[in-house]
Amino acid sequence: VRMSTLRYRDLIKMREEELIEELQRLEGELLQERGVSASGGAPTNPGRISQIKKDIARIKTVQRERRGVNAGL
């Protein structure tokens, strides 16, 4: 499990396939962490869920920018 936060400047250098792969990995990890939390277990790192959610948001932001959705704003 990688604990470092993904940085925007690193994400913009990644290929689309790498972004999709990382997004899927993070979403799976988030499900696992939420499952542990929901079943009453103590999370190994309490701040990890919010960190994962922020990393997912960063990836989706990069993907959105590449599609040009924000071009008109």
Q: In the structure, what pLDDT confidence band is assigned to residue 73 with cuts at 50, 70 and 90?
A: low
Residue 59: pLDDT over 60: yes
Distances (CA, A) of 35 to 28, 43, 44: 11, 10, 12
- The string of pLDDT tens digits covering residues 11-20 is 999 999 999 9
CA 11/CA 21 separation, integer angstroms: 12
